Chains A and B, each alone.
Chain A
Amino acid sequence: MKPKVAFFDFAGCEGDQLQVANLEEDLLALLGQVEVVSFREVMKGHSDNYDIAFVEGSCTRLQDEDRLKQIRKNAKLVVAIGSCAAIGGINSLKNYKDLDSVKKVVYGESGKLFDSYAARPIDAIIPVDAYVYGCPIEREDFLHVVKSLLLGKKPEIVTYPVCVECKKNENVCAFERGQFCVGTVTRAGCNSCCINEGTICWGCRGLVDNPNENSHKEVLIKYGLTVDDAIGKFKLYFGWQEAKR
């Protein structure tokens, strides 16, 4: 019997589920291996009977915790897809601000009508079995994780920083170009895609395990940058991870 899979989304842009839809012909091949029982973005109907749950988006309010717990209860495996679900993502930018004033800025006096708390990854609420990092996820990465899970293996996670891939790609270092980059401490696996496109690493895959802080400080000193520069960029995606450290 084909394993049953379901997709769910919380606070996010649905860009990761879009990457799944963007698999095009590979999606058809995947549909030959699994039975999709819930994917609100592309299908009508829903079932609570599923083996693998893919969850996109971060948890940003108390009322969503119950839904997450129910998903955990129903699924044998829970996979966090995308930065928001895996590390808290860009939503955690608001965690640095006073929540009442954030609500007021956006909704005025009606802000109190809306429930919201610090944005967090889903593993702050429920245990997670596998992660697909990135904002958005890389399609190949997603397929790799799905294949591993279908074969009953735990997908391996890259534990080195983006710098490693960037060097392999022979890019000119962003610091050498006078720009600030967080590839020194960000988990790789993206093939340094943003730097290849001429920009910088923004940190969307989150802090690598055991980031080499000393060498990062050396880089800052060498290029005349301050800890404030670093903290500013760290806030983009590392908010929840930094708060926990």
Chain B
Amino acid sequence: MKKSSFEVDVHHVTRVEGHGNIYVSINNGAVSKCEWSIPEAPRFFEAMVVGRSWSELHHITSRICGICSIGHTLASLKATEAAMGISISEQDLKLRKLALHGENLQSHLLHLGFLVLPDLLGVGSVVPLVSTNPDEVNTVLRLHRTANEMSNLICGRTTHPQRLMPGGFSKIPSIKELLALRKKLQDSIPSIQAVVELFKSLAVKLPNFKRETEFIALTDPSEYALYDGKIASSDTGSAPAKEYLAYTNEYIVPHSTAKWAKHVRESYMVGALARLNINYKRLSPIARETADAFNLLPMCYNPFMNSIAQLVEVVHSVEDSIRLINELEVAGLKSQPDYNLPTVKVKAGAGVGAVEVPRGILFHDYNYNEKGICTKANCIIPTNQNHGNIQQDMNALVPQIVNKSQKEIELTLEMLVRAYDPCISCSTHVVKIR
């Protein structure tokens, strides 16, 4: 057979958040170059927040990412609260968990419905699906709308939340509104199961590729960790969030404005698949059944299954939200004053906030002086932690598919990048201050 030579050059991969490029060069059937690079314009958030007040940090850092603005806000609040020794009420904790579920649902449904589904159905975008698969598209849109309404109800907005603030909430929903949300979530379960069936029928199109790697996610003995927990590695065990730097070890590569990260191997993976691999046992009942139906069990080393892990988490977020609202109902929702401004005793200190956001573990780390002015900040974004793993996956995958056509290789690599659901504009914001 004649050995072929060609290039795969995808400038700005589509259907991902932000700008990333794939370049592969095949020479006489052998891979001579394989590179994942990030040309996104850098934004320098860690430098921008220095000199700003503790009362503004969550507002500013929310703007790191439109899609995970709730997660950034929560990580920011947790860092500020840790630095100043601020605690929040049990009720506010539950409401924050609901906020995070709302974002997880928004983000995962957008990714699955708009970004992944077109690949599985062999089209370039969701637009042609509107006429060919109207039921499926409408189901996803309806679920996505419910997720948006949920974020709106808890946070006061779907993107760049308003009500979340250091020490609590400026405004909270009424119990009536929460119970209406619960009804909506309960009613959405059949639609979600229809989406699960759709993906089940298409799962054979996901490449069967495996590469052993390290997974890192938050973990907690009492629940499927999202809002809080210890850092856990599939290779080395767990540690408190404040020791995150021992895990993330960021470094700079010349072809990327985003920083890369590594722990005990060349790279590690964060996100839904990492969470599922580490915390599978704590999934809610139907979510666990869903994972089992896809044979998605720890340890799964196929990165393309990250999308399916997101689908499992959609089910989990709905079930767990219903549970949280039940608990709020039983405890009796305590009202709070209008324009609530939680009392904060400003003091100097340092604090780390770690939260699982849709794309993986997120860290914010701040130092404040005695006036509550930020003197140093570090944010480590999930996608940064995944860039190295995407590259390693490509290095392993391309030689396996080198005999396929240029078009097939291109699509497979694009699908790989999309499976990670990268949030590239986030990932170019950051790095550490020494």
Contacts and interface: CB of A to CB of B under 8 A. Distances in A.
Interface stretch (A38-46, A160-168, A205-213, A218-226): A38-46
A114 B43 contact: no
Contacts of B94: none
Contacts, number: 179
A199 B155 CA distance: 12
Interface in A3-41: 9-19, 21-22, 24-25, 28, 31, 36, 39-41
Contacts of A31: 127, 130
Interface string B149-190: 000000011111011010001110000000000000000000
Interface string A134-153: 01100000000000000000
A102 interface: yes
A170 to B, nearest CB: 11
B66 interface: yes
A42 B226 CA distance: 27
Contact of B44 (A40, A106, A177, A193): A106
Contacts of B42: 11, 60, 106-107, 114, 116
Given A14-B17, A40-B12, A90-B60, A197 B44 contact: no
Question: Is the interface on chain A under 10, 10 to 19, 20 to 34, or 35 or more residues?
Answer: 35 or more
Contacts of A110: 252, 254
Interface residues of B, number: 64
A44 B14 contact: yes
A107 B170 CA distance: 36
B163 A10 contact: no
A43 B124 contact: yes
A93 B48 CA distance: 6
Nearest to B426: A13
Interface in B31-67: 41-44, 46-50, 52-53, 56, 59-60, 63-67
Contacts of B159: 15, 18-19, 22, 136
Nearest to A89: B63
Interface stretch (B195-203, B206-214, B336-344): B336-344
A113 B252 CA distance: 10
Contacts of A90: 48, 60, 63
Interface string B105-142: 00000100011001000001111001000000000010
Nearest to B141: A24
Contacts of A135: 63, 160
Contact of B15 (A41, A46, A57, A108): A41
Interface string B310-348: 000000000000000000000000000011110000000
Interface in A65-122: 89-91, 93-94, 97, 101-103, 105-108, 110, 113-114, 116
A236 interface: yes
A106 B148 contact: no
B125 A44 contact: yes
